[in-house]
Amino acid sequence: MDAIMNSSPIIPAVAVPEGAGVTVYRTIGSPALRDHDPFLLLDHISSNNPDDYSAGFPLHPHRGFVTFTYIIDGHMAHQDDMGNSGDLGPGSAQWMKAASGVIHSEMPQQENGLLRGFQLWINLPAANKMDHPEYQEYSAEAFPIVETPDYTLKVLIGRFADTHAPIRDNSTDVTYFDVHVQPGKHFQHRLPAGNNSLLYVFEGSGQFNAQIVLPHSLVILDTDDHSFDFIAGKKGTRFIVISGKPIHEPIARYGPFVMNSREEIDQAMRDFQTNTFVRDRAWIKRNR
């Protein structure tokens, strides 16, 4: 990954099929960037064409990490083998700590129109990979918004200045912002020292370190400098900014399982095949 960061900080998303045939735009988790510790995957779904999303994501397992799903437009329903159900509409989000094991589905609840959002996979330290699962769902109104003459910022995870999101990640101190910058204006931000950080543009274009950044592009932010200045293009720019503390542990992954060794991956596969995958049904559910 060092070679990628030294040669270019900008990584274009690649369109890949996921689930039962959903088209997603992937940056982290692609051949160009396998991971960006503690982040394992970043998928962006954005389409007006129901052929791109209507098949959804039928029942599938996860173990060893957290998924954070943020819906910007459209409607997505969640169900899992613990009996939880979720209803994600515009601006809402879901934090699911799969940890020891979850089997769930994510299905669009619309036959046409725009479906747009993100899913981020956040790794868990080895000590927490077999924790109890947790499920939390938040309405759009739960997330605070910071407004300035230059930009509007929604705080989804962590904090921005003195504004705190309802979601905090105690393992890797993740922060996650949705930022809309006005045409020609600046967004300046200082990153936590030692974090791995990124910026993904999904509306408009802008300029970062004298380079033009187009939609569906990921910028790896320089953690040595700790601060950056992004200038929006003539039509404005909208992007997400994500930062987290690296775990610095071995990563073994196979499909929906992310552990620390091949032996743990093999065990996850055996558990799934023998119907012993869900280790603990003491599921924590909080709807917000």
List, as residue ranges, the binding site for Fe cation.
Answer: 60, 62, 104, 106
Provide the 3-class DSSP secondary structure of residue 209. Answer: coil
Reported in sequence order, the residue ranges of 124-195 that DSSP labels E, i.e. its strands, are: 134-138, 145-147, 151-157, 159-160, 163-164, 175-181, 186-190
Tokens of 276: 């012993």
| C-beta separation of 191 from 244 below 8 A | no
Provide the 3-class DSSP secondary structure of residue 144. Answer: coil
| C-beta separation of 244 from 174 below 8 A | yes
Binding-site residue set: 60, 62, 104, 106
Question: 3, 94, 36: which is closest to 245 by C-alpha?
Answer: 36
**Residue 93 one-letter amino acid:** A
Angle at CA of residue 141, ends 200 and 56, nearest 5°: 55
| C-beta separation of 127 from 97 below 8 A | no
Q: Which helix (H) or strand (E) holds 282?
A: none
Distance between CA atoms of 219 and 183, rounded to whole angstroms? Answer: 19
